[in-house]
Structure formats: structure tokens, C-alpha cells
A and B are shown apart, each in its own frame.
Chain A
Amino acid sequence: MLKYLIPLAIFLVLVVFLAIGLTRNPQELPSALIDKPAPTFRLPQLKQPDKTFSAEDMRGKVWMLNVWASWCVACRDEHPFLFEYQKSGAVPIYGLNYKDRPEDALGWLSELGDPYLLSAVDLDGRVAIDYGVYGAPESYIIDKSGTIRMKHVGPVMPEVWEKKILPLVQELNRQ
């Protein structure tokens, strides 16, 4: 009897592993930057190119950095929700305009509206490399000490916002 049960058991274990494998998203990589200091940068602002924006400016605040571009299709899905998130006042949302022509980016914002407090222009994607960006949109939650506490790859849909981001932001604000 045991002789027949062993292959069956091995088969079942294999099924479980393969089933787990199927539910995971291979595009989603663990970020190497979680709990590491957010890379510093100083970039021109999209709407006021003579002014700059730096991660340092946000010291002492919990904030969200959202990497977006006008050529990024998934950013369009995320865009309407960003207004709601910003309006809720839970966390200030800043944009990092990734490898986008400023005129395209400005056109996109005037067409669809601008949910960001401001957007910084990363024209050549160099800052994005520092943040380990590999596909827009990506969102980072950075705490008061300037440490990256969470990264989300892909559009921040309401489910992610409510289940992952809001609780984390509330906890970080308490610290």
C-alpha cells in the first residue's frame, strides 16, 4: 500500500508547489531598496523648471513618490484614482516624470488633470535607475527619516491603496 502512496504523495507536493507558482506574479520583484534610505536626487520641477525638487525636501514627512510617464499605458488606468488618494489627505503624492518629453507630460496633465503636488522631471531616467525602477507606474512610500518602506509596481488600484498603503501610512505617521 505504502508503495503506491509514496508516488501519490510526491505528486501532491508537486501540485501544491506548481499551484503556488501559478498564483505569483513573476513581473513583481522584491525590491532591494525596502528599508534602505531613499536615494537622493535634485531634479527640476515639471511645471516650474526653474525650481527643483529633492527627496531631502520631504524629510520629516511620510510621502509617496509615484513614477509616471505620458507614454505609460498603465499610468492611465491609475491616474483617476490618484486624485482620490490625494484628496483623502492620507499621504502627499509627488510625481517622478520618467523619461518623458516635458511637453508630452504637460499635455497629459492638462488633458487628464494633475493629481500631483508637483512632478520632478527625470529626463534620462538616471534617478529611476537609483530607485530600481523597471516599469512604470511604480510607487514608493517613504517615511519621515527618508527610508523607503514600501514599493508597489504597477498601478495603485483601490484595493492596494486600502489594504497595503493606507495602513502602512497610518502606522508610519504615528511613529
Chain B
Amino acid sequence: MNNQMTRSRLLALLLLCLLASFAMAQVQTEDQPSDDPVIEQRLAKLSHELRCLQCQNQTLADSPSDLAADLRREIRAQMKAGKSDQEIIAFLTQRYGQFILYRPRVTPLTYLLWFGPFVLLLAGLLVLFRYIKQRRDQITEQPLTAEDRRRAEEMLASSRKETA
């Protein structure tokens, strides 16, 4: 009996939460797939290249946010109007900046981003080569002096004696 009461209370609470969420709702815009498979295919490809502005580590394709849905709708509409992918990307970067591109363009501003890792790699290789060369120079063979040879033979002789 008691259990049932808590359950019904929980249910009421849940309903209340739902109601509150309705009160806060935005105007939903339909994010319906287009009936043209070509457009859907293009959208799928393009939206994986674009960043969702609200949840910045998701692509426009994966994001459940309302803005992402709006932008997908906008992209569909523009594709239907015959715009090319390039034109649509230009439309979006004009409004949201380069940030919307998951793959930043190669411009002087992004040279460091694109080429920095390779510069670091080269610098690392250079340091490595210099280090190896320096070490090799240090360990070049030195010919034995007469004294060294005498001592070495002495040691060899003594070890032979021990094993015998």
C-alpha cells in the first residue's frame, strides 16, 4: 500500500517536471529529412564537416541542439534551392566565422595550427641527429698504447690461470 503511494507520488512528480519542461519549450522547428535522397546524402556529408555552435565538440550532424536542427533545415532549404556545398559553407562562415568549420582553412592565421606539429617534429629530429652525432664522436676508437696492451695481456693471463 505504502509502496503504491510512493509510486503514485513519484508519477505525479514526474508529470510536474514534464509540465515544467513544456512551459520552457522553444518553438520547435521541424528537422524532417528531405524526401530527396541526394540532398540527405549531401547534408550528411556536409554536416559532419561543420561544428555545432552550442555544444562545441559535436558536429552539426550529431548535435541534438535546436540551433543545429535549424541549421540543418537551412542547409536543406539551400540545397533544394540549388546552392553548391561551397556556397553553403560560405553562407555559414559569413555568419558564424571560421569556427563552424571542423577542418580550419589553410590561411596565414592557421599556419601555426596546420604546420606547427611538423615544425616541431623536424626540430625534434634535428636535435636527435645532433645528439647521436655528438655521441658517436665521443666514442671513436682510440688505439691501445703499449702500456694498455701489457695490462690487458696480464689480465688475460691471470684469468686463464684461474680457470685452469
Contacts and interface: CB of A to CB of B under 8 A. Distances in A.
B74 interface: yes
Dominant secondary structure of chain A at its interface with chain B: loop
B53 A29 contact: yes
B99 interface: yes
Interface in A143-175: none
Contacts, number: 60
Given A129-B70, A129-B74, A129-B95, A135 B54 contact: yes
B54 A134 contact: yes
B66 interface: yes
B77 to A, nearest CB: 9
A135 B70 CA distance: 13
A63 interface: no
Interface string B41-72: 00000000000011010000000001100110
B24 interface: yes
B34 interface: no
B95 A32 contact: yes
B74 A99 contact: no
Interface stretch (B11-19, B25-33, B135-143): B25-33
B95 A33 contact: yes
Contact of B94 (A30, A32, A100, A135): A32
Contacts of B98: 32
Given A31-B97, A129-B95, A99 B53 contact: no
B96 A132 contact: yes
A47 interface: no
A124 interface: yes
Contacts of B54: 134-135
Contact of A32 (B29, B67, B71, B93): B93
A44 interface: no
Given A71-B26, A99-B27, A100-B26, A30 B53 contact: no
A140 interface: no
B96 A69 contact: no
A123 B27 contact: yes
B46 to A, nearest CB: 16
A29 B29 contact: no
A96 B29 CA distance: 17
Given A29-B53, A99-B66, A124-B70, A132 B97 contact: yes
8 contacts: A29-B97, A29-B99, A33-B95, A99-B29, A101-B25, A129-B95, A132-B97, A135-B67
